[in-house]
Amino acid sequence: MIETWEQLSNQQPRAAAMLLNSLKKDRVAHAYLFEGERGTGKQDASMLLAKSLFCLDSIDGYLPCGICVNCKKIEHRNHADVHIIEPDGLSIKKEQIKMLHEEFQKKAVESQKKVYIITHSHKMTASAANSLLKFLEEPHAGTTIILLTDQIHKMLSTILSRCQTISFTPLNPVELSKQLIQSGVPANKAKLIASLTNSVDEGLALQEDEWFAQAQKIVVKLYEAIKNPVDGIMVVQEDWLPHFKEREQMEMGLLLLLNIYRDLLYVQLDKPEEMVYQDKEDQFRQLAILHTQKQLANQMNEILEAKRKLSANMNPQLLMEQLVLNLQEGFTLV
């Protein structure tokens, strides 16, 4: 978790510099859009900005102390003038934005300011997004709204044009791997985890997660069964689908599978140092002879296409069975 501006500056230097400059000059925008991949620190940055605006004992007038009553209330999500709006089910509905409009009209309870943070803002329904435009077009003094999204392409252009967009970039996998190792993750696991997430906290959680440990075994089992399409489909039905139940879980499973094929290619290119399955080099050297480099490239494309179809809400069982058949064609019989 990012708790200080120094930490944010280390991980997101450009985003931190833009926000700190606004605070120093007392020119905080009335509407921000924090965009970037999941795990890049957008929500932590929004909470930091809120603390900076409400801190009772700020350093140099803009750095939050982190220990005053306001900082603690914001940290625990119970400050009366900091409102966090999250999806109700699958979307942010018009009624939720309507409640915001009602809050806009009220005086601040504990200060002269108000902050509204809308997470997953791309999940606003069309009516909710249009309702939000009224505030963005006629901002209230002392009010700041922060929209968070990892899918900026789904946002209305009219909303984008009325916000100051700040981009959050993924942490370099090499740097993330180093931080995970410093935090106690074994070196032979850190690189694999760093290929799946942009967050140290998420990476540490994966390391301790029994579900993730089992997921790795199932993915390897599926790869080994794919040579025979019947065996592969059995693994999908008996192991994969019961384990990877949610879309995000299946996306991680596909990334783990993609990493196997990528590592096999690195073995063929004699670049074992690039592998993420660092503890499987000997095993993968034996498996690499089952593929040509062209086949590996095609198989990786098939997995990426499956990931795209998953995002388009294709039936998971049909998607995986088709993928097994497509990947089976990429084996060289020896």
Spell out the domain ranges in the chain: 5-168, 209-328
What does the pLDDT read at residue 331?
66
For residue 153, pLDDT over 60 is answered with yes
* Residues 6 or more apart in contact with residue 58 via CB below 8 angstroms: 52, 64, 65
pLDDT at 166: 97
What single string gives the DSSP state of each residue in 73-91? HHHTT--TTEEEE--BTTB
Q: Shortest CA distance to 28 belongs to which of 36, 38, 18?
A: 18
pLDDT per residue as tens digits for the range 321-331: 999 999 987 66
The reported pLDDT for the residue numbered 330 is 65
Quote the pLDDT of residue 108: 56
pLDDT of 101 above 80: no
Please give the distance of CA 331 from its chain centroid, rounded to a whole number. Answer: 33
Residues 6+ apart with CB under 8 A from 199: 38, 39, 40, 41, 171
Q: Under a CB-based contact definition with an 8 Å cutoff, are residues 188 and 225 in contact?
A: no
Q: What is the pLDDT of residues 250-287, one digit of tens each?
A: 999 999 999 999 999 999 999 999 999 988 889 999 98
Which residues have a Cβ under 8 Å from the Cβ of 307 and sit 6 or more positions away?
Answer: 251, 254, 255, 258
Q: Percent of the chain, pLDDT > 70?
A: 96
Which parts of 150-292 are beta strand (E)?
A: 164-168
Q: State how far the alpha carbon of 177 is from the alpha carbons of 89, 186, 278, in Å.
A: 34, 10, 12
What average pLDDT does this structure show over 30-35? 96
Contact 36, 42 (CB under 8 A): yes
| Residue 46 scores a pLDDT above 80 | yes
Distance separating the N- and C-terminal Cα atoms of the chain: 49
Q: What is the pLDDT of residue 54?
A: 94
Q: Which residues contact 180 (CB under 8 A, 6 or more apart)?
A: 190, 193, 194, 200, 203, 204, 207
Q: What is the mean pLDDT of residues 196-201?
A: 86
The CA-atom distances, in angstroms, between 18 and each of 23, 31, 161, 172, 256 are 9, 14, 18, 20, 35
Give CA–CA dist 228/235, Å, rounded.
Answer: 11
The CA-atom distances, in angstroms, between 268 and each of 31, 246, 265, 328 are: 50, 34, 5, 19
Task: Provide the CATH number for the domain formed by 5-168 in this structure.
Answer: 3.40.50.300
- Domain spanning 209-328: which CATH class is it, in words? mainly alpha
Same CATH topology for 5-168 and 209-328?
no
